[in-house]
Amino acid sequence: MTRDDLKSEIAAWLRAAGIDEAALEARHILAAASSEAEARDMAQRRAAREPLSLILGNQPFWTLDLRVTPDVLTPRADTETLVEWALSHLADGGRVVDLGTGSGAILLAILSERPNASGVGIDSSAAALQVAEENARRNNLADRCDFRAGNWADGLPGNAFDLAVSNPPYIASAVLETLDPEVTDHEPYLALDGGADGLDCYRLLVPQLFRILRPGGHAAVEIGYDQAEAVNALFAAAGFADVALSRDLAGNPRVISGQKTETQSR
Ligand SMILES: C[S@@+](CC[C@H](N)C(=O)[O-])C[C@H]1O[C@@H](n2cnc3c(N)ncnc32)[C@H](O)[C@@H]1O
């Protein structure tokens, strides 16, 4: 069988399994496999709806190549909206914190663009932090970031960071059960579940973001498409000024941000 024949066969197989980008994914599988048997094995896993990122073991994000495992959320292209926002609010040399860092995607993308900045990534999952540390080494950023176990910002000093970002779990528990098998069967529940209305983590996080920022610093969080109003209200209630919404490339609400003004410190 030629390589092209195998690629067509795998694409047809994936298409029949309900995978939208079957031809593209077949190409990725062929590029990663070192033998026909391995390609068939990968295709079989994909047809059973295991995410391609977990089969390949990596995922592009921003300009980085990140390792992903079942212990971390596969970073999404939508999250690049938060990175873009962060880069427009961080001078080089600044100090950044990423709460719920997972694979380290957001913090590492920011640091990759600001060679004199440094940062801390917090996660409650020790297994996720190991992946983040590996990603820092893989992208030559390990000397400028520190990954630590923690419950959001508990134990972090107040008035300490120029920029604070988070992409917390924000899917309502009932909705979670209705998502594609790639998500429900393969991504960590801890990375997804935002409680009954999806907003539990924001309620805890947003006041903490305010506390750890230095006066003049900025914070932003990723949100679900229908959460802008509620998260905007949480930012305003926490004391943030200039609370604003940014949209992703598809035009959906994606990031809520705000500033702790120079006169504020708590
Ligand atoms: C939606 S994922 C985001 C991962 C990564 N930042 C990204 O954007 O791809 C949320 C992350 O928050 C972490 N998390 C959940 N509860 C947490 C808590 N109480 N304290 C710190 N991190 C938590 C999860 O382990 C997960 O890695």
What spacing in Å lies between the alpha carbon of 76 and ligand 1's midpoint? 13
Between the alpha carbon of residue 99 and those of residues 29, 150, 181, 220, the distances in Å are 33, 9, 26, 11
Quick check: CB of 168 below 6 Å from ligand 1?
Answer: yes
pLDDT in tens, 96-144: 999 999 999 999 999 999 999 999 999 999 999 999 999 999 999 999 9
Predicted confidence at residue 265, as pLDDT, reads 56
What spacing in Å lies between the alpha carbon of 101 and ligand 1's midpoint? 6
- Known binding residue 101? Answer is yes
Domain boundaries along the sequence of the chain: 3-48, 69-259
Predicted confidence at residue 263, as pLDDT, reads 75
Question: Alpha-carbon distance 187 to 223, whole Å?
Answer: 18
Question: Which atom of ligand 1 has the smallest separation from the CA of 98?
Answer: 6
Question: Alpha-carbon distance 179 to 19, whole Å?
Answer: 14
Predicted confidence at residue 153, as pLDDT, reads 98
pLDDT higher than threshold 70 for residue 264: no
Predicted confidence at residue 18, as pLDDT, reads 94
Predicted confidence at residue 259, as pLDDT, reads 98
pLDDT in tens, 216-229: 999 999 999 999 99
Residue nearest to atom 12 of ligand 1 (CA): 100
What spacing in Å lies between the alpha carbon of 84 and ligand 1's midpoint? 19
- Known binding residue 167? Answer is yes
What spacing in Å lies between the alpha carbon of 132 and ligand 1's midpoint? 12
- Known binding residue 100? Answer is yes
- Known binding residue 104? Answer is yes
Q: What is the CATH code for 69-259? A: 3.40.50.150
Query: What average pLDDT is seen over the chain?
Result: 96
pLDDT higher than threshold 70 for residue 91: yes
pLDDT in tens, 160-171: 999 999 999 999
Assess contact for 256 and 232: CB atoms under 8 A: yes
Exposed, middle or buried by CB within 10 Å (0-12, 13-18, 19+), for 85? buried
pLDDT higher than threshold 60 for residue 266: no
Quick check: CB of 132 below 6 Å from ligand 1?
Answer: no
Mean pLDDT within 243-259: 97
